[in-house]
Amino acid sequence: MSASRDLRARVQALREEIERHNYNYYVLDAPTIPDAEYDRLFRELQTLEAQHPELITPDSPTQRVGAPPLPEFRQVTHRVPMLSLANAFDDEDVAAFDRRVREGLGQDRIDYAVEPKFDGLAISLTYEDGRFVLGATRGDGYTGEDVTANLRTVRSIPLRLRTRHAPRRVEVRGEVLMMKKDFERLNAAQREAGDKEFANPRNAAAGSLRQLDSRITARRPLRFFAYTMAGADGFALPPTQAQLLDTLAQWGLPVSPERRVVRGLDGLLDYYRGMAARREALPYEIDGVVYKVNRLDYQDRLGFVSRAPRFAVAHKFPAQEALTELVAIDVQVGRTGALTPVARLKPVFVGGVTVTNATLHNEDEIRRKDVRIGDTVIVRRAGDVIPEVVAVVPERRTGKEQPFVMPTRCPVCGSHVERPADEAVARCTGGLVCPAQRKQALLHFASRRAMDIEGLGDKLVEQLVDHHLVHNPADLYKLGPAVLAGLERMGEKSAGNLLAAIEQSKKTTLARFIYALGIRNVGEATARDLARHFGGMDALMNADEQALLEVPDVGPVVAASIHEFFREPHNREVIEQLRAVGVHWQESEPAARARGRLAGKTFVLTGTLPSLSREQATALIEAEGGKVSGSVSRKTDYVVAGADPGSKLAKANELGVTIVDEEGLMRLLKG
């Protein structure tokens, strides 16, 4: 008998501990134990319940894994109808709502409970004596679908309320949704499996919740937020909406951390603007904010009209998605020659602006989404993000739609288009002879981290190229005052300042010059590595791919890009022209032949050294011909570890890299 009591006590203790950790992780976003420890507790409970099935209860955490498929969902009639809210789309609508409320209550100013309007799926959760017994979708507001088995798998929904004084029966209402980061991971997994992607987090949440096989739902990262309760039996409701939400939070139900109480019309509009500004930074999608009269007795006095309450309104943000027709697909050519298909759209108002163009990313994306010219498409614009076509509406096809074919010739210069086997992007081979690449190449060449030619901006580069005054970067150094004076918005003083900046840029460094050339896959750090390794321009230009692979942090893709760039005769010709007009830099002995005890060795520093700062240690290593890198790779020779080392030490152990302390470093420096 004692053993049986001990077993039941252990099972109950495990359930309570696991649910406490679920609450900390999924509701508070503050995990208190490692995942491995959570898994250990869960496995122990699973084992005990498997050995003693009579101990299994519906509210056990093990019952969240899902059940066998259902033939169909049964219908559920809501005891209290789940009515929708009236919408407000501008300040005038909100002012009218506030005026109606004040007049209906005979008050001068009203306190409102405000919170985000989640873009998810409305559901109701029924608890009896604190235990979750029924979950249903909103449906038509009066009748929904029984999705209890699926909702049991949502870990942010408590299977038992965290209170000793639970109502006999209470219906909690809220929204099931998917966090943005979880949505991105889900779509990545869908792509990898070759399955169809979801258009947006709301569709993903709705599709996941309405699975007849709840085991599928259990694998989907759904979340829940509560926003009200209805039909509470044996429980005295608090006096305000804000306190009602606080009560739900005390019971272990997630509620919006963005909820507030504001006063009057000004408070409503200030909250709306603040949430609109923060919308993109939120971890979940919202499509507006909800205003509710805070006092519940005031809500009762105002009552309902038709299918909506008089005491609440949803203030909607401008739609982020809209339907329109894709009338054509153009191809743009970027600085590196990348060809990007762009959708030309029938104008549509979305995200607060009229959109006529949207990115299609690349040819593979067009194929994956099966986008055709003439399709009705869903266009999305969020904040300042470039509008994109997220999906087509195939049921609206007429049969006249045309598939897209990527051109084999550059639409700007007519050069051949190539697509490497390991890339999704097709590229023009025209290089600096392609006007589209020419403008962007010149802007990159003149940018602050490259040749730093102040005053050479977009508008001026466009004029120089369009007037056939500049065909490559060397032509910049041949410009004179008379030529510049003939350009728009270019006065004598502006021309003088620009020419001075061009002249000043002639003196540069090898690393800046390499970066300025705009070689694909070569950023600032790689340019510095190339300059340090080869010491001079000619050595770099004549290096084969094998020699390039000897440069720290240069892999096969980067080596191929560099080698291909210098194989093009017109690129070499431009470099010689730049030298001829006076562009120069100081060259040095190649690192491969540099003197020093640490020549050719790569170091990574991690942690705090006893007597040397990072800067001092770096200087000592470089003085002996070594190189200090910011990350550990198979090309790393030594990791110098001090106190409190980070993940770099673990990476070094994983790769078998030699690890030394400060004393070991000093021995290496002394040879």
- Catalytic residue list: 117
Buried b / exposed e across 629-644, counting CB within 10 Å, b at 16+?
beebeebbbbbbbbee
CA distance 501 to 129: 78
What CA–CA distances, in Å, run from 559 to 349, 368, 460, 541, 637?
A: 45, 31, 34, 12, 21
Q: What angle do CA 365, 420, 522 make, to 5 degrees?
A: 100
What is the bridge-based pairing of β-strands 312-316 and 286-293? Answer: antiparallel
272 neighbors 289 (Cβ within 8 angstroms): yes
DSSP bridge pairs for 205? none
Write the CB contacts of 45 (distance below 8 Å, at least 6 apart in sequence): 11, 14, 15, 18, 60, 61, 62
Q: Do residues 198 and 216 lie in contact, with contact meaning Cβ atoms separated by under 8 Å?
A: no
C-alpha 365/C-alpha 103 separation (Å) is 55
Q: How far is CA 663 from the centre of its chain?
A: 43
Question: What tokens appear for 5 in the block?
Answer: 């009591």
The four Cα atoms 268, 272, 274, 277 give a dihedral, to 10 degrees, of -170
- Tokens representing 25 are 């992780």
Hey, is 507 helix, strand or coil?
A: strand
For the chain, count helices (H), then strands (E).
24, 28
Are 296 and 244 spatial neighbours (Cβ–Cβ below 8 Å)?
yes
d(CA 119, CA 201): 8
| C-alpha to C-alpha distance for 472 and 577, rounded to whole angstroms | 9
Query: Among residues 242, 282, 234, 238, which one has the least CA distance to residue 262?
Result: 242
Query: Which tokens belong to 184?
Result: 């991105």
SS3 322: strand
